[in-house]
């Protein structure tokens, strides 16, 4: 009986979660995915969202990438850089599996950028979405939790395997608490097993 219940409960949880970060509202002020410099050499910080990513649970994930580009920036030693004023960024996470959405809000004090140096850091709040309706804009995350790191450091334009690209790192996990519908199914299974056992004892 214990084995049956374990298998039944496990099958009630999704083996994979599908999510996207391309919902309307994702972006800098006004929902734009590109922010330009405020002063100095022309540069841009661009966000590339993800669409319908399917992942196992638990697993480390990316919520999208920022790319910092400054074609005319020099090194910090030479002094030709680009300055960014403070800004905010909204990252809307859509839990496609459960039909829920939530918002990670990023804030930055801005900073100066050179070809080999970036002072830009984006701090995130809240640090988790879910389970249930915790920090949800709409819907219910069920037992799934989407978490992000405390901050995302934006790398310099000439840094990294993909120059200038910084990933918003996160984690998708499961609280392991069955949803009400699941509990109802497990309860029905227990009642069924109890009736079968009673019937077998009566026959003996």
Say what the pLDDT of residue 204 is: 52
Cα dihedral 52, 91, 127, 157 in deg (nearest 10): 100
Other beta carbons within 10 Å of 10: 9
pLDDT of residue 153: 98
pLDDT for 15: 78
Q: Which residues contact 117 (CB under 8 A, 6 or more apart)?
A: 75, 76, 81, 156
pLDDT at 177: 55
Q: Which residues fall within 8 angstroms of residue 78, CB to CB, at 6 or more apart?
A: none
Taking 50 as the pLDDT cut, the residues of the chain under it are: 1-12, 179-202
pTM of the model: 0.81
């Amino acid at each position: 009986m214990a084995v049956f219940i374990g298998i039944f409960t496990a099958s009630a949880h999704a083996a994979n979660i599908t999510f996207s970060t391309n919902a309307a509202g994702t972006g800098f002020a006004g929902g734009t995915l590109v922010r330009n410099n405020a002063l100095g050499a022309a540069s841009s910080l661009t966000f590339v969202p993800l669409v319908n990513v399917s992942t196992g649970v638990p697993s480390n994930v990316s919520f999208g990438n920022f790319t910092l580009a400054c074609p005319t920036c020099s090194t910090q030693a030479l002094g030709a850089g680009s300055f960014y004023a403070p800004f905010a960024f909204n990252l809307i996470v859509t839990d496609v599996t459960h039909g829920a959405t939530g918002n990670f809000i990023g804030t930055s004090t801005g900073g100066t950028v050179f070809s080999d140096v970036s002072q830009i850091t984006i701090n995130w709040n809240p640090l988790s979405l879910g389970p249930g309706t915790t920090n949800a804009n709409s819907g219910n995350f069920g037992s799934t939790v989407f978490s992000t790191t405390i901050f995302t450091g934006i790398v310099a334009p000439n840094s990294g395997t993909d120059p200038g690209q910084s990933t918003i790192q996160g984690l998708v996990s499961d609280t392991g608490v069955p949803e009400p519908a699941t509990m109802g199914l497990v309860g029905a299974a227990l009642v069924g097993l109890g009736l079968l056992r009673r019937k077998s004892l009566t026959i003996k």
